[in-house]
Amino acid sequence: EVVQAIAATADQIRAVHTDSHLKRVRGQGVYDAAALAAGGAIQAATMGLEAPCMGVIRPPGHHASADSAWGFCYFNNMAVALQFLLDQGKIKTAYVLDIDLHFGDGTVNIFSQNKSVRVHNVESGNRESYIEEVAREMARCEADLIGISAGFDNHEEDWGNTLKTEDYKEIGRLVKAAAQKHGGGCFALLEGGYNHDILGHNVMALIEGLSA
């Protein structure tokens, strides 16, 4: 089922970003697209409380901090979504599993002082140990909601040259199992992934894992 995104409000974005950052994004002429992606993230996270969901949104967000951004990111979609649910009282704890090739510095920066949200960037450059790292993290995860910052640039035919398409299905399966074990929800948001010949296949593999 495909749901159309609804743009995040300025107040929803301000929950994690400064007014000066919003002004800069407006000045760059990308505010509407970035707000639409952030709103789609809120929808995906909210739906993820009931059933696994994937936010196929861009621009991405995990390099966006409260007052700065880089790497094609403008607003931190994951942070906007999780902060919205925290503020609404719909969750008390959240876990972010960042599987992008690049370190999600923006998400770490935003939540560095927030004990309600734990962020883990998978750093292994070896296929087997990468999946093992995800499995270890999911085995000890007890959050109300697990969000995957789903970058696919670690694929063997992308910059990272590490994972196979079926590995994303396994990652999705591990995340869903961890969420179910704790009685929580799970969702994913699109981050990186630059080989468009295989990106769709990898996204679908992750969705299949989350839906298994």
Low-confidence ranges of the chain (pLDDT < 70): none
63 in catalytic set? yes
Distance CA 83, CA 69 (A): 18
What local confidence, expressed as pLDDT, does residue 14 receive? 98
Q: What percent of the chain has pLDDT over 90?
A: 99
* pLDDT the model gives residue 86: 98
The pLDDT value given to residue 145: 98
Q: Are 37 and 69 in contact (CB under 8 A)?
A: no
Of 62, 63, 102, 155, which one is the catalytic site residue? 63
Q: What pLDDT score was predicted for residue 167?
A: 98
Q: Could you give the CA distance from residue 29 to residue 34 in angstroms, rounded to a whole number?
A: 10
pLDDT reported for residue 22: 98
150 φ, ψ (degrees, to nearest 5): -95, 85
pTM: 0.97
Which tokens in the block code for residue 189? 């948001």
d(CA 113, CA 55): 26
Using one digit for the tens of pLDDT, what is the confidence trace for 37-94? 999 999 999 999 999 999 999 999 999 999 999 999 999 999 999 999 999 999 999 9
Check residue 69 and give its pLDDT.
98
Contact indicator for 75, 13 with CB cutoff of 8 Å? yes
CA-based R_g, the chain, Å: 16
Q: In what order do the strands lie in the sheet with 94-98?
A: 53-55, 185-190, 145-150, 94-98, 117-121
| CA separation for the pair 16, 204 (Å, rounded) | 30
